[in-house]
Amino acid sequence: MKSPTRTEIMTIVASRLLGDGSTCFVGIGIPSMAANLARLTHAPDVVLIYESGTIGAKPNILPLSIGDGELAETADTVVSTPEIFAYWLQGGRVDVGFLGAAQVDKFANLNSTVIGEYQTPKVRLPGAGGAPEIAALAKDTLIIINHDPRKLVERVDFITSPGYLDGGDARKKAGLKGGPSAVITDLGVLVPEVDSKELIVSQVHAGVTRDQIQEATGWELRFADQVTETEPPTELELTALRQLLERTEASRRQAS
Amino acid sequence: MKSPTRTEIMTIVASRLLGDGSTCFVGIGIPSMAANLARLTHAPDVVLIYESGTIGAKPNILPLSIGDGELAETADTVVSTPEIFAYWLQGGRVDVGFLGAAQVDKFANLNSTVIGEYQTPKVRLPGAGGAPEIAALAKDTLIIINHDPRKLVERVDFITSPGYLDGGDARKKAGLKGGPSAVITDLGVLVPEVDSKELIVSQVHAGVTRDQIQEATGWELRFADQVTETEPPTELELTALRQLLERTEASRRQAS
Amino acid sequence: MSTSSISLAEAIRLHVSDGDSVALEGFTHLIPFAAGHEIIRQRRRDLTLVRLTPDLICDQLIGMGCAKKLVFSWGGHPGVGSLHRFRDAVEKAWPAPLEIDERSHAAMSAAYVAGAAGLPMAVLRGFVGSDLPNHNANIRFIECPFTQEKLAATPAINPDVAIIHAQKADRQGNVLLWGIVGVQKEIALAATRCIVTVEEIVDKLEAPPNACVLPAWTIDAICEVPGGAFPSYAHGYYERDNAAYLAWDAVSKSREQFTAWMDQHVLGTENFAEFRHQLAS
Amino acid sequence: MSTSSISLAEAIRLHVSDGDSVALEGFTHLIPFAAGHEIIRQRRRDLTLVRLTPDLICDQLIGMGCAKKLVFSWGGHPGVGSLHRFRDAVEKAWPAPLEIDERSHAAMSAAYVAGAAGLPMAVLRGFVGSDLPNHNANIRFIECPFTQEKLAATPAINPDVAIIHAQKADRQGNVLLWGIVGVQKEIALAATRCIVTVEEIVDKLEAPPNACVLPAWTIDAICEVPGGAFPSYAHGYYERDNAAYLAWDAVSKSREQFTAWMDQHVLGTENFAEFRHQLAS
């Protein structure tokens, strides 16, 4: 079996963090890949909720968009967009929000709006979508992002979606519960330190050095007292992930 | 053909006031009878909306409750109770609200809450239901009530649903448009006077004297300059109404 | 994530306690009568009953002394007139005083929506010109920050327990209802716990697209009670028993006759099936 | 009360004017591409486009200079990345400056609900900790009069015109859609006028119970445009053309290539059927 790529490791590590039976509001892309991998491995009863209104979707292939027919056909129920946000997310029924972003900062705040100034952006990103309310209202948030010093930055250019804001009890003071419990990257896992809420490295993937991870991060990183090494992907995990991607590829080739 | 009863005349007169193609939010009882009679005679394209969420109901028999299966089966669509009030009534899509009440007063305010004091009622009536918002938000309101001095009173014990409040521009000042355009009784029709908004008699049914109508009214009645006599029910109207009631009776006998 | 079915008696024992607020919904359709009877049989007390149209089911619960408070918008006997037990409680405090929180259908259904949506209040164009706000502190007015219009606000309703009747559940516990769906989805999601009685449990739900479905993980107890909405109806299963409705007027008129009827038919039967059997004979 | 069908060109001519606010909705599904193209062909100007996910359809309208403003919550190319024409307009004002009113999906969908429900604003638990309220006066905070909690408020959206694509209409003009229904019912009801393109017009709608149906009297124009959601999909009719979506990235990257493509395929065709035929060959 081919050894796993960094992206595969990231996806598998993220999937492991999703508990069986939990309800997960899933962003498109790697979050969707990781959530479906969890469903196909250790968490068969995870409930996947997509912002397109599909609840309990069990796609056999990965959707390219957040509202592919595959999601609707395999869902337990399909509701309107207002309902998915009002009754299901805001109603407090989401255990885990699984998000990506263009930037994440030291206090796990997310930017998917602009690089540069809002009025005169250097890069105009797609924008908020469902993320501000997912990050605010899900009981827990998991963030997946590739390690890169322009992506993991000391302070995001724009807070689209709240992590721990200025750190410490700032999030709680703003009236929010929950908060991100982990940032999973292609190099390791960062978690918020208990009191300061600053992201610190708790786990590194096999073969990744501390220098490497520091170089790929836009602020001076701190490390947990006990940094663990990521358990290597099991054959089951790797096979399930690769078959999922193969099915997806095959289906896209066939369609076009 | 048996000559029409007072209740039949009241129902037929009310039905005539409903324009073809209008959307009508229908209360149960005589309002529902009149609205369906309109649909079966001059207004085949009236859209009947019941608060149970049935839109475009075309019942073949009269429902006993506002949510009989007959309504759902014949409707163009059936929506939830929150939706019927939010999107359809509050959204401004109702032309005519067709209401009954226990009491109506000189300014067409409706009481369906209590006789006596609210905290220590002499008679506790069923309450508001959908009426306060129907009376406030439908573009026009038609009220059907039996003429009786305890029912047509100078001032209702309790304003459940607004007519013209204290009269004059009180309703407009409260921020409400529309307002009742007619109170149809078994003796005649009362309409709000242009400026004062006091209900005055504009029409009497055949054979009804001014004294009779005054005796049956709880305040000193005024009459329009031109009081017309109700056009007698046509054979078509009477036949349609009686057949509707016969079908309804037959169906209830069969069911029990 | 599946909810296995239990008996209705067990569901009420587990999930409804004295003092709870209990929403029993069903807008003329799918009224959870069987569950209401079981609450009476188990002699629950001091309940806050929540229901837009507290018709016969609430008349019975109130007359049997189960309720201390009623949150409602229309308390009548549909197509007939008064609810005698409700009136006796409000007018003469029999068998016990009944506190009321009275709103309108528009406000109560919006309050359930707010409850399901995790908001503390509902906003609506309501109650303008009505005397109700003068008698209920749960109706207030706020100002729109954009248009400065005056709008009504009413607190969200989040009952301790929601009880509904539906047509079907599958073996995983997913629930399907159709026809006049009322506010059932909203109260199921607004409540802390949710009990669903169903006409039948099936292998596959076969819900049409965008039907009103409650996933198993939103429900705490599923009970198979065929005919559990009698004398109301279950679309696709049986019709409203109008005769039984009409008969209630006479049964409920006097305290004595009401009590005798309830003693014989509800307290004197083991469950809803026996009640229906006894009533039919 | 029936709405007879007309051509899409006629519907756009009658109901979409320069300067209008136009909501084109469809959440990844049933996106009204044919109608978007017709707006481009008729060279409408100064439109305020309203759409949660202004993907390819808005990229085309913006790049062709039809829009002066965009109300939106996510402007990306789903599963691919950037919308190049949208970015070019925001970053470099090409072909014209583009004003933006940016909210979130939760806020925009609630704003449509408020619009459909005749309320001036929507209330939600939103935007806490986000920088968006600092840049958009259409996001404010109010206080709950019952709990004193801080809640976000955003103005209702009531577009001049709503345009949606649905699976079916019957000959009376009643419309049925199913699958991922997005915010279509809400915008149809929130807008002053509503245009619906459909896959087919049938004798009988045969809507399942509680399906998403828009009665004929809520709709101003119905146009039969088979395939009118291409390259998005119509559940039960055809699938999403992922290849066409992926190809858009290259087509839209440069102003020149974009303009040439639009000239040839959209301005250079009479209608959507011809566009699809040309593209296929």
Asked if A174 and D241 come within 8 Å (Cβ–Cβ), the reply is no
Min mean pLDDT across B69-78, C27-36, D84-93 is at B69-78
Average the pLDDT over B47-68 and give the result. Answer: 92
> What is the 8-class DSSP label of residue C216?
G
Instruction: Please list every residue in chain D whose beta carbon sits closer than 8 Å to the beta carbon of residue A101.
Output: none
Read off the amino acid at residue A200: I
Nearest to D109 among A29, A81, A127 (CB): A81
List chains touching D (3+ CB pairs under 8 A).
A, B, C
Q: Is the pLDDT of residue A256 over 60?
A: no
**CB spacing of C241 vs B68 below 8 angstroms:** no
- Active-site residues of A, by number, are 51
pLDDT higher than 70, residue A112: yes
Q: Is D53 on the interface with A (CB under 8 A)?
A: yes
Q: So what's the pLDDT on residue B66?
A: 79
CATH assignment of the domain containing C54: 3.40.1080.10
Residue-by-residue DSSP string for D99-147: EEEE--HHHHHHHHHHHHTT-SEEEES--TT-SHHHH-TT-EEEE-TTT
List chains touching A (3+ CB pairs under 8 A). Answer: C, D
Whole-angstrom CA distances from D212 to C144, C233, D54, D57, D206 are 30, 24, 23, 24, 12
Q: Which string of b and e fits B210-230 if b means at least 16 CB within 10 Å?
A: eeebbebbbeebeeeeeeeeb
Q: Is D2 a member of any domain?
A: no
Per residue, what are the HEC states of chain B? CCCCCHHHHHHHHHHHCCCCCCEEEECCCHHHHHHHHHHHCCCCCCEEEECCCEECCCCCCCCCCCCCHHHHHHCCEECCHHHHHHHHHHCCCCCEEEECCCEEECCCCEECCEEECCCCEEEECCCCCCHHHHHHHCCEEEEECCCCCCCEECCCCCCCECCCCCCCCHHHHCCCCCCEEEEECCCEEEEECCCCCCEEEEEECCCCCHHHHHHCCECCCCEEEEEEECCCCCHHHHHHHHHHHHHHHHHHHHHC
Nearest CB neighbour to D215, from listed B77, B86, B90: B77
Between CA B21 and CA B38 the distance in angstroms is 11
Instruction: Examine the pLDDT at B255 and tell me if it is beyond 70.
Output: no
Q: Yes or no: say if D258 and D231 are a contact pair by the CB < 8 Å rule.
A: no
In a domain, C153, yes or no: no
The answer to whether residues B68 and B255 touch, using CB atoms and an 8 Å cutoff, is: no
pLDDT in the model for residue B152: 98
Contact D184, D26 (CB under 8 A): yes
Domain assignment present for residue C114? The answer is no
- pLDDT score recorded for residue A27: 85
- How many structural domains are present in chain D? 1
Contacts of residue D155 in chain C, CB cutoff 8 Å?
Answer: 146-147
Residue B88 lies in a domain: yes
Give me the pLDDT at residue C4, please. Answer: 79
* Distance from C-alpha of D165 to C-alpha of D195, rounded to nearest angstrom: 9
Closest-CA residue of D relative to A116 is D91
From the list D86, D112, D130, the residue facing A132 with the nearest CB is D130
Give the residue numbers in D contacting C (CB under 8 Å), as ranges. 118-121, 123-125, 138, 140, 142, 144-147, 149, 151, 153, 155, 178-179, 181, 208-212, 235
- On whether the pTM is more than 0.90, the answer is yes
Write the pLDDT tens digit of every residue in A148-162. Answer: 999 999 999 999 999
Structure tokens at C15: 């999930």
Tell whether D270 is covered by a domain. Answer: yes
| pLDDT interval class at D1 (50, 70, 90) | low
3-state SS class at C140:
strand
State the nearest Cα–Cα gap between C56 and chain B, in angstroms.
13
Q: Domain residues for A79?
A: 6-251
Compute CA distances B172 → A45, B94, B175, C124, C218, whole Å: 57, 19, 5, 18, 45
Task: For residues B180 and B201, give the distance between their C-alpha atoms in angstroms, rounded to a whole number.
Answer: 14
For residue C93, tell me if it sits in a domain.
yes
Bridge partners (DSSP) listed for residue A207: none
Q: Which two tokens stand for residue C279?
A: 């009533």
Q: Is residue C110 within 8 angstroms of chain A, CB to CB?
A: no
What is the rounded distance in angstroms from the CA atom of residue D201 to the CA atom of residue C157? 43
Distance (Å) from the alpha carbon of A74 to chain C's nearest alpha carbon: 11
C149: CB partners within 8 A, 6+ apart: B175, C143, D120
Residues of A in contact with D243 (CB under 8 A): 252, 255-256
Read off the pLDDT of residues B182-221 as tens digits, 9 standing for 90 and up. 999 999 999 999 999 999 999 999 999 999 999 999 999 9
Of D28, D82, D132, the CB nearest to A52: D28
Closest residue in D to B57 (Cα) is D215
Render pLDDT for B115-131 as a digit per residue (tens, 0 to 9): 999 999 999 999 999 99
Q: Does an interface of 3+ CB pairs under 8 Å exist between A and B?
A: no
Q: How many residues does chain D have?
A: 281
- What pLDDT does D142 receive? 98
Q: What is the DSSP letter of A168?
A: T
D134 located within any domain: no
Please enumerate in sequence order all residues whose Cβ is within 8 A of that of A73, keeping only pairs 6 or more positions apart, or say none. none
Q: Specify the pLDDT at position A34.
A: 97
Q: H or E segment at A244?
A: helix A235-255
Strands (E) in A128-242, as ranges, are 140-144, 152-153, 180-184, 188-192, 199-204, 223-229
Q: Is residue A43 in a domain?
A: yes
For residue C44, CA distances in Å to C21, C22, C47 come to 11, 11, 7
C215 Cβ under 8 Å from any chain A Cβ: yes
Average pLDDT for D7-29: 98
Q: Write down the pLDDT at residue A28.
A: 81
Pairing state between β D99-102 and D67-72: parallel
Q: Which of C189, C192, C206 to mutate to test the interface with A (most CBs of A within 10 A)?
A: C189
Evaluate whether D83 touches D54 at the Cβ level (below 8 Å): yes
Mutation target vs A (from D57, D87, D90, D130; most A CBs, 10 A cutoff)? D130
CA distance D89 to chain A (A): 10
Q: Is the ipTM of this complex over 0.85?
A: yes
Single-letter residue type at B76:
D
Axis crossing angle, helix D33-41 with helix D272-280, rounded to the nearest 10: 100
Flag whether B1 is in a domain: no
Whether the upstream peptide bond of residue C208 has omega within 30° of 0, thus cis, is no
Confidence of residue A66 (pLDDT cuts 50, 70, 90): confident
Q: Note whether residue A1 is domain-resident.
A: no
Between helices C242-253 and C84-92, what is the axis angle to 10°? 30
Question: Distance between CA D165 and CA D23 in Å, rounded?
Answer: 12
If interface means Cβ-Cβ distance under 8 Å, which residues of chain B face chain D?
A: 21, 23, 45, 47, 55-56, 72, 76-79, 86-87, 90-93, 137
Residue C226 contacts by C-beta under 8 Å, 6 or more apart in sequence? C199, C200, C273
Alpha helices, H only, chain D: 8-15, 33-41, 56-63, 84-92, 105-116, 132-135, 184-190, 242-253, 255-262, 272-280
Chain C residue nearest residue A73, CA to CA: C209
Helix (H) or strand (E) holding C39: helix C33-41
Inter-chain CB proximity B93 and D189 less than 8 Å: yes
How many Å apart are CA D96 and CA D85, to the nearest integer? 11
C contact residues 248-277, partner B, Cβ 8 Å cutoff: none
* D133 preceded by a cis bond (ω within 30 of 0): no
Q: Chain C: nearest CA to D47, how far in angstroms?
A: 23
Q: What is the mean pLDDT of chain A?
A: 96
**C101, C103, C144, best to mutate vs chain D, most D CBs in 10 Å:** C144
Q: Per-residue confidence at D78, pLDDT binned at 50, 70, 90?
A: confident
Residue among B76, B78, B91 whose CB faces D174 most closely: B76
Tell me, what's the pLDDT at D135? 97
Domain that holds residue D207: 8-103+158-280
The answer to whether the CB of B142 falls within 8 A of the CB of B98 is yes
Asked if residue D37 is part of any domain, the answer here is: yes
Across the interface, of D140, D144, D179, the residue whose CB is closest to C120 is D144
**D132 contact residues in A (CB cutoff 8 A):** 113, 128, 132, 160
Q: Is the pLDDT of residue B254 over 80?
A: no
**Residue matched to tokens 């057949």:** B243
Long-range contact pairs involving C84-87 (C-beta distance under 8 Å, separation at least 24): C84/C59, C84/C249, C84/C252, C84/C253, C84/C258, C85/C59, C85/C60, C85/C252, C85/C258, C86/B124, C86/C54, C86/C58, C86/C59, C86/C62, C87/B123, C87/B124
Count of domains for chain A: 1
Distance (Å) from the C-alpha of residue B235 to the closest C-alpha of chain D?
A: 27
CB contact under 8 A, D210 and B79: yes
Structure tokens at D213: 């149906």
- CATH number for the domain spanning A171: value is 3.40.1080.10
Beta strands of chain A (E only): which ranges?
A: 23-26, 47-50, 54-55, 77-78, 96-99, 103-105, 110-111, 114-116, 121-124, 140-144, 152-153, 180-184, 188-192, 199-204, 223-229
D179: chain A residues, CB-CB within 8 Å? 69, 72, 78
Question: Which residue reads 């109300």 in tokens?
Answer: D71
DSSP 8-state symbol, C208: P
Q: From B120, which residue of chain C is nearest by alpha-carbon distance?
A: C91
Decide: helix, strand or coil at residue C7.
Answer: coil
Contact partners, residue C27, CB within 8 Å, separation at least 6: B52, B53, B66, B67, B81, C52, C53, C180, C182, C183
Is the CB of D218 inside 8 Å of chain B's CB atoms? Answer: yes
Q: Answer yes or no: do C146 and D179 touch at CB < 8 A.
A: no
For C244, the token pair is 């039984």
Q: Answer whether residue A255 shows pLDDT above 80.
A: no
Cα distances from A216 to residues A14, A109, A152, A198, A247, in angstroms, run 19, 18, 8, 17, 33
- Please tell me the distance in Å from A131's CA to the nearest CA on chain C: 17
Residues of chain C with pLDDT under 70: 1
* CA distance readout (Å), D138 to A41, A86, A135, C146: 44, 19, 21, 8
